C-alpha cells in the first residue's frame, strides 16, 4: 500500500478476486500482482502474468479508445509500453510524472517492443509539471544542455545510458583484475605524500577556524591523493599483484574539457617484473577485456552513443580493441614526428615531452590505432621511474598508451628498486617541495564495521590498509 | 632476465638443455620455466612441471643435506615449501628476503602441504637484514604491534589475510548489488552539501595561500563528503535501484577505536518503496550474501582470524548470518531496556537516543543475534526521514541494524517524498548550518578517459555523474 497521497485511476472489473476455503473458514484473497522492473517485464519471461511496474513516464499518446505510455525505471534504455483504456487517462499523466501500473503482460503486436503491459490500473505517484520540467517530450537534448541540470540529467536517455555503462565498466575492471589474481587495495584519499611531485594539491583541514600551522588535524599538512601508487608500492612488497580503483584529485584551475578536479583512476602494481612487457601486457589485456565486457553487456546503451550521440565512433573504437597494440620507443616516436610534414606548435627535439598534438599525430600515423610509446628520456620522468642505464641517451623504463581521440590513456613505468640508484636520485629532489522524490528509501553500511563484525576485530584501525585519524596520517 | 643486481645460486647440472634441428639449422633452446604464483603452484595443477616462483621468504630451515624455505607472494595465506640441496643455501637467504626459485613441482611427502618445489636455482632478488626487520621469524605479532609499521604490516599473516578478505568482501558487495539490478554510482567526494547536517566536516581548498572567502576554488566552500545519500537520491529519480561504495569522511577529533577520519560506506537507494521492509530485506540480504561469499572464498584467511586473532568469534558470526534477523520497534526497545535489571549510564526514556550500551544490551537480549530497530522518534532523525504521522508518539520510518560486538552496522530510512511535509520541516532547519621494493612496476588508467575513448564523448564532464572543476561544484 502506498502511503503517499496519490490519485488512483481504477477499472473496478479488473480487480481479480478469488474465493478459497481453508480449514472451514471462508477467505477472500486478492491476488497480489508481481512487482517487476521494466527490464524484467521486457524479458518476456512473465507473459500473461498479473504484474505491477513502477517508473517515470517517457511519453504519453492519448488516442480515441486507448492511451499509450512509455514507462522507464532506469533498468534499461528501452521503456515498457503501457496500453490502457481511454478511461484511465488523466491530465496528471504527463511526461516526467512517476506512475505505478498494474495489469497483464502481453505479447506486443508491434515489432519495436516484444512485450506490452495492458493496464488495469494506473496510479500517478509523483506529479510533474511539463512546463517547468527542463526536458521536452520527443526532443533529443544535447549533452551541453542537459549538463545544466545535474539533478535531472539522469532522466535523459543519453545520461542514463552513460550511468549504466559506467557502472558496467566498473564491474568489468574489477572482474579483469579478480580473474587475474590481483588484490584490490583501498588506497587512502587523504595523504601526507605527493606521489607525482608535481600537480596542484588540495589541502584538507576541518572546516571552521582558519588553519594554523602546528595545529593540523593530522599533525602534518594533509592533501587529497593525486595517485594511489606509493601506497600500492607498499602493498606490492607483500602481494605481487595489487590494484586500486578510486577517486583522485587535482587542484588545477582549468575550465578545459579535458580536466576535472575529481576523477577516478585504475592503478595496478605488479611485483617481480622482468621487462616493460610485464606492464604492457596487463595494460592491453585490461583495456580489451573491459571493453569486450561493456560491449557484451551494454549493447543498447553503447548503440545509443554510437548512433545518436557520437555517430561514426564505433569503427574507431572497434579498431582499438581488435587490433594488437603497436609498440614504438620514444626515440622512434621523435623520428616519426620529425619526418612528418605536419607543423607542430611544440618542439619535437629528443628530450622534449610529447604534447597532445604529437600524441594525436602518432596515433594517426599508426593507422588510428592504439600505440605504446616506451623508454622516455630519464629526465622527463619522475624519480621513481627505473633508469635504463642506456648511455648516451639515458632513458627510463616508462610507457604510455596512446589511443585515438583521447591521446594518453594509461601511463606506467618500471619502478627503481635499486636502493643506491634511488637514493642518488632522491638527493636531487630534496630541494623540491614534496608531498603526494516518489516514495523512496535507502540505507548506509559502514564497511569497516562490517569487516569488524564478520572478523571480530576490536579496533577499526586494523581493518583498513592505511588508517587516518586525528594526529595520525602515516605514509 | 632480471635487470637487478642479484646473486645467482645455481646448480649447473639442472639447466635443462634440449637440442633441436629446424630447417637444417641447429638450435640450442633452453626450456623456459612457467612462471606461477604461489596459489597456482599449490593448486597441484602443474605437478611435475618446470616452474619459476617468486616471493618473500617466510621461513628458512637449513638442515644437513637440505634447506627448506617457505615462500609467500600474497596470493594465498599458505606459503609454498621449497626444498633445495644444502649447496643452494646462502647467508642472504633470510626471513623477509625476496627470492626467485626455479625447479620442479613435486607431491609433498608431508601432510601439511600438498605440493613442494624442488629447487634447481635460488636467486636472492632483494636482501633483508633480519636484525632491522621489525617482524621476527616464527613469532605471532599482535595487531597493535604491527600497526606501528604501516609500510610493512602487509608482510604479516594476519594483515595480509585481512587485505585479501577486504578485497573479496568488496567484490561480494558489488556482486550482490549487480545480481539484484542495482546500478553503481560514483557519488562525489568533494561536495558543497552536508547530508547529515551534523558531523565535523573537512574543508577542501588548494594548498598554498590561505583561504580567502569569495575566492574559493569551487566558488563556494567545499567539503569532503559525509554520505553519498543526497546524490544517490538525485539518481534514484530515474533509476529505481542505485548504490555507491566509496570513502566518506568525518573531521572528528577522536582517538577512539571506533572512529576513523576516512572510511568506506556502502549506500543504497531504492525507489518506489512501500514500507520499511523494502529496506530491511535488502539490508539483510546484502549482509548475508556478502558474508556467505567471503566465507566461501576466503576459507583459510577467515580461519586464521577465527582461530588465532579473534578466537571464539566464529560461532557468534555464524549466528549473524544463519538466523533470520529479528525486528523490534524503538518503542519496544525502550520497554526492553526499562524492564532490564542492567544499570545504564545514559537515560532510557522514550525520546532519548539509543547509545552503544543500549544497543549492546538489545543485541544480547535478542540472543546475541542481529536485530532491526525501527520507527525511531521523529525528532531524533534527520529532516529527510519519512514522518510516520502516528500521533501522539510521532515516529519516523527509520531503521538501524544492530549486530553483536559492533552495535549499529547499518542505518536507513524511508525518505520524505511529500513536498509539503518536507518543506515544513526544512523551515525548521533553515537556521542550522548547512552543506553537505624487488623489481616491480605499475601503471595508471584514467577511467573517465577510458569511457571517453570507448564512447567518443568529447567533454570529460559528460562521463561522470557530478563533475567538479574550478568555479563549479554543483549539487
DSSP sequence for A140-200 = ---HHHHTT-TTTGGGSHHHHHHHHHHHHHHHHHHHHHHHTTPEE----SEES--SSS-SP
Q: 10 Å Cβ neighbour count for B29? A: 11
pLDDT band at residue A461 under the 50/70/90 scheme: low
Task: At B459, give phi and psi (nearest 5°).
Answer: -105, 125
Chain centroid to Cα B403, Å, comes to 19
CA distance A178 to chain B (A): 9
B contacts of A251 (beta carbons < 8 Å): 205-207, 217
Cell of B452: 571517453
Helix ranges restricted to H, A180-253: 229-235
∠ CA A13-A16-A22, nearest 5°, is 140
How far is residue B232's CA from residue B235's CA, in Å, rounded to a whole number? 5
Please report the pLDDT score of residue B393 as a whole number. Answer: 82
List the alpha helices (DSSP H) in B298-405. 299-304, 313-322, 330-339, 356-365
Residue A34, pLDDT > 90, answer yes
Q: Touching check for A130 and chain B: CB below 8 Å?
A: no
Does the pLDDT value for residue B58 go beyond 70? Answer: yes
Q: How far apart are CA B164 and CA B291, in angstroms?
A: 14
- Give the mean model confidence (pLDDT) for residues B189-208: 74
- Helices A277-297 and B447-455 cross at an angle (nearest 10°) of 60
Residue among A132, A272, A325, A382 with most chain B CBs within 10 A, to mutate: A272
Check if the beta carbon of residue B240 is closer than 8 Å to that of residue B257.
Answer: no
Cell 545510458, located at residue = A161
CB contact under 8 A, A450 and B184: no
Confidence of residue A393 (pLDDT cuts 50, 70, 90): confident
B76 φ/ψ angles, rounded to the nearest 5 degrees: -160, 160
**Considering CB atoms only, which of B147, B442, B464 is closest to A461?**
B147
**Quick check: B449 pLDDT over 50?**
no
pLDDT at B187: 86
Chain B residues closer than 8 Å to A185 by CB = 163, 167
Name the DSSP letter for residue A344.
P
| Confidence at residue B209, expressed as pLDDT on a 0 to 100 scale | 59
How many angstroms separate the CA atoms of A221 and B221, rounded? 19
Q: Is the torsion defined by CA of B334, B336, B339, B341 positive or negative?
A: negative
pLDDT at res. B359: 92
Mean pLDDT score, A204-223: 74
Across all residues in chain A, what is the average pLDDT?
79
- Residues B419-425 have a mean pLDDT of 68
Q: Is the pLDDT of residue A247 over 90?
A: no
A24 to chain B, closest Cα gap in Å: 32
Contacts of A133 in chain B (CB under 8 A): none
- Kindly state whether B323 is in contact with chain A, defined as any CB-CB distance less than 8 angstroms: no
Is the CB of B373 inside 8 Å of chain A's CB atoms?
no
Q: Please, which pLDDT band fits residue B426 given cuts at 50, 70 and 90? A: low
Mean pLDDT of chain B: 79
pLDDT of residue A466: 43
Q: Residue A442: beta bridge partners? A: B269, B413
Of A412, A409, A407, nearest to A362 (Cα)?
A407
Residue A179: is its pLDDT beyond 90?
yes
Cβ–Cβ < 8 Å for B404, B316: yes
Residue B272 backbone class (left: φ over 0; alpha: ψ -120 to 50; beta: rest): left
Q: What confidence category does residue B198 fall into, taking pLDDT thresholds of 50, 70 and 90?
A: very low
Confirm if B222 and B216 have CB atoms less than 8 A apart: yes
* CA A67 to the chain's CA centroid: 37
Neighbours of B234 (CB within 10 A): 21
Instruction: List the one residue out of B365, B466, B421, B359 whose CA is nearest residue A453.
Output: B359
Chain B: closest CA distance from residue A429 (Å): 19
CA-CA distance, B190 to B435, in Å (whole number)?
Answer: 11
- pLDDT at position A463: 46
Average pLDDT over residues B72-89: 94
Contact between chains at A411 and B272 (C-beta distance less than 8 A): no
d(CA A236, CA A31): 58
pLDDT tens sequence across B134-179: 888 888 888 778 877 877 888 888 888 888 888 888 899 899 999 9
- Per-residue pLDDT tens digits for A110-132: 887 889 999 999 999 888 888 88
Chain B segment 230-289 residues within 8 A of A by beta carbon are 232-242, 245-247, 249, 251-255, 257-276, 278-279, 282-283, 286-287
Please say if the pLDDT value at position A266 is more than 80: yes
Contact call for residues B466 and B187 (beta carbons, < 8 A): yes
**Which residues neighbour B268 within 8 Å (Cβ) at sequence distance 6 or greater?**
A442, A443, B177, B182, B232, B241, B242, B243, B244, B282, B286
In 3-state terms, what secondary structure has residue A133?
Answer: coil
Please give the Cα distance from B319 to B407 (Å, whole number).
Answer: 15
The reply to whether the predicted model has a pTM over 0.90 is no
| Residue to substitute from B145, B272, B368, B401, interface A, most A β-carbons within 10 A | B272
Grid cell in block for residue A144: 551541453
Residue % of chain A over a pLDDT of 90: 31
> Model confidence over A304-355: pLDDT tens digits?
888 887 777 777 777 777 777 899 999 999 999 999 999 999 999 999 999 9
Q: How confident is the model at residue A460 (pLDDT cuts 50, 70, 90)?
A: low
What's the CA gap between A288 and A292, in Å, rounded? 6
Question: What pLDDT shows up at residue A22?
Answer: 37
Instruction: Write phi, then psi, for B366 (nearest 5 degrees).
Output: -85, 20
Q: What is the pLDDT at residue B460?
A: 54
CA distance A176 to A285: 8
In sequence order, what are the beta bridge partners of B387?
A: B396
Amino acid at each position: 500500500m502506498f502511503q503517499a497521497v496519490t490519485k488512483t485511476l481504477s477499472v473496478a472489473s479488473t480487480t481479480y478476486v478469488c474465493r478459497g476455503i481453508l480449514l472451514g473458514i471462508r477467505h477472500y484473497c486478492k491476488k497480489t500482482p508481481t512487482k517487476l522492473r521494466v527490464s524484467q517485464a521486457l524479458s518476456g519471461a512473465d507473459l500473461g502474468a498479473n504484474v505491477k511496474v513502477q517508473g517515470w513516464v517517457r511519453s504519453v499518446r492519448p488516442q480515441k479508445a486507448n492511451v499509450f505510455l512509455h514507462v522507464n525505471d532506469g533498468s534499461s534504455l528501452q521503456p515498457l509500453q503501457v496500453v490502457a483504456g481511454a478511461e484511465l487517462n488523466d491530465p496528471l499523466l504527463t511526461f516526467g510524472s512517476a506512475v505505478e501500473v498494474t495489469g497483464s503482460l502481453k505479447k506486443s503486436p508491434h515489432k519495436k517492443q516484444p512485450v506490452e503491459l495492458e493496464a488495469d490500473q494506473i496510479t500517478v505517484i509523483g506529479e510533474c509539471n511539463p512546463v517547468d520540467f527542463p526536458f521536452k517530450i520527443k526532443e533529443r537534448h544535447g549533452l551541453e544542455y542537459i549538463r545544466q541540470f545535474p539533478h535531472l540529467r539522469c532522466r535523459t536517455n543519453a545520461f542514463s545510458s552513460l550511468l549504466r555503462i559506467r557502472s558496467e565498466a566498473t564491474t568489468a575492471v574489477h572482474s579483469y583484475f579478480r580473474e587475474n589474481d590481483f588484490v584490490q587495495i583501498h588506497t587512502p584519499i587523504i595523504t601526507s605524500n605527493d606521489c607525482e611531485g608535481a600537480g596542484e594539491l588540495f589541502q584538507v583541514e576541518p572546516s571552521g577556524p582558519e588553519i594554523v600551522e602546528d595545529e593540523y588535524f593530522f599533525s602534518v599538512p594533509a592533501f587529497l591523493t593525486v595517485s594511489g601508487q606509493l601506497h600500492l608500492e607498499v602493498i606490492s612488497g607483500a602481494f605481487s599483484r595489487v590494484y586500486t580503483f578510486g577517486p583522485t584529485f587535482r587542484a588545477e584551475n582549468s575550465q578545459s574539457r579535458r580536466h576535472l578536479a575529481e576523477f577516478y583512476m585504475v592503478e595496478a602494481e605488479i611485483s617481480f617484473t622482468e621487462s616493460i612487457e610485464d606492464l604492457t601486457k596487463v595494460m592491453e589485456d585490461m583495456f580489451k577485456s573491459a571493453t569486450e565486457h561493456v560491449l557484451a553487456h551494454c549493447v543498447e546503451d553503447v548503440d545509443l552513443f554510437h548512433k545518436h550521440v557520437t555517430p561514426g565512433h564505433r569503427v574507431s573504437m572497434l579498431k582499438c580493441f581488435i587490433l594488437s597494440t603497436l609498440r614504438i620507443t620514444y626515440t622512434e616516436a621523435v623520428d616519426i614526428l620529425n619526418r612528418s610534414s605536419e607543423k607542430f606548435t611544440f618542439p619535437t627535439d629528443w628530450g622534449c615531452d610529447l604534447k597532445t598534438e604529437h600524441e594525436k599525430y602518432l596515433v594517426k600515423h599508426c593507422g588510428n590505432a592504439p600505440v605504446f610509446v616506451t623508454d622516455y628520456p630519464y629526465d622527463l620522468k619522475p624519480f621513481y621511474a627505473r633508469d635504463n642505464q642506456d648511455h648516451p641517451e639515458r632513458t627510463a623504463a616508462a610507457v604510455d598508451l596512446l589511443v585515438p581521440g583521447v591521446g594518453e590513456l594509461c601511463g606506467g613505468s618500471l619502478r627503481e628498486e635499486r636502493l643506491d640508484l634511488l637514493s642518488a636520485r632522491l638527493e636531487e629532489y630534496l630541494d623540491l617541495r614534496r608531498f603526494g522524490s516518489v516514495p523512496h528509501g535507502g540505507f548506509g553500511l559502514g564497511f569497516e564495521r562490517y569487516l569488524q563484525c564478520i572478523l571480530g576485530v576490536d579496533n577499526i584501525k586494523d581493518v583498513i590498509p592505511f588508517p587516518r585519524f586525528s594526529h595520525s596520517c602515516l605514509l
